[in-house]
Every structure is written in structure tokens, then in C-alpha cells.
Amino acid sequence: MIPHGQARGWQAYTSAALIVLLLFAAVGCVRVPTDAEKHKIVTHLITATANGQTILRWDSRKDLIYTILVGDRFTATQWTPLPNGSHLRGTGSPIELTIPEDPNRIRTYKLMASPAQPADAKR
């Protein structure tokens, strides 16, 4: 038999544990994003190829600088900047580029974005 004083101690622990479980059930756990997640930049590049040309289009932001990378085929492992497709300042509006294509060469494109530095604002 448990002495009367010890029984109250166990009841207090049980009550505290129950309160904690109820708080987790009601509020849930809060996940704090990492610095990399807070500063993640999401871009969506739309491509359309017809009549020997590829049109690249994306919604730009004024605070970002864009670079278009090109690789051979859809399984590209090496990417190179597209000529005239580097250090493109965002305008806050959609940007569209038309690129001539070689019908015998399949290429794929990737859009990279990075925050504009104060010196970039003067360009």
C-alpha cells in the first residue's frame, strides 16, 4: 500500500503530464525554420519551344538578380550560364527571352536567383 502523502505526489505528476499532453494536442509543436529556409528564393521558369525558338518566361522581383543556366537534355549534370543570360536585374514584372534553338540539340534550362547587392541597384 502506498502511503497517503506519496499518492498525492504521483497524482501531481500524472496531472502535470496530462496537462502537457493536452497542450501539445491543442497547440501542436512549432517548427522554427532555419536561416536557409527563411531566405529561400522560389522561382518558376516557363519554357515553350516552337518554330526553332524557345521562349523563357518568369515573374521577376526587383530585389533579385537572375541567371539562366543551360544544360544538354533533361538529365543535365553540368550547367553553364546562357550567353546574355547572366546578371539579369528583376523588374517586378514578367521577363521573357526568346532563344534560337538547334533542332538537332535538346537543351534544358534552369533559372537561378540571388539577392541583389546594393551596388546592383545602380545598374
Q: What is the pLDDT of residues 40-92, one digit of tens each?
A: 777 889 999 888 899 999 999 999 999 999 998 777 788 999 988 999 999 99
**Do 76 and 43 belong to one domain?**
yes
What residues make up the domain containing 44? 35-122
**What's the total number of domains in the chain?**
2
Tell me the whole-structure pTM to 2 decimals: 0.62
Other beta carbons less than 10 A from residue 65's beta carbon = 19
Amino acid letter, 66: Y
* Residue 49 buriedness (CB in 10 A; 0-12 / 13-18 / 19+): middle
Question: Higher model confidence: residue 52 or residue 21?
Answer: 52
**Do 22 and 46 belong to one domain?**
no
Half-sphere exposure of 95 (CA within 13 A, CB side): 20
**Do 63 and 114 belong to one domain?**
yes
**Do 96 and 49 belong to one domain?**
yes
**Do 19 and 40 belong to one domain?**
no
**Do 73 and 15 belong to one domain?**
no
Q: Domain holding 87: CATH number?
A: 2.60.40.10
**pLDDT for 7 beyond 90:** no
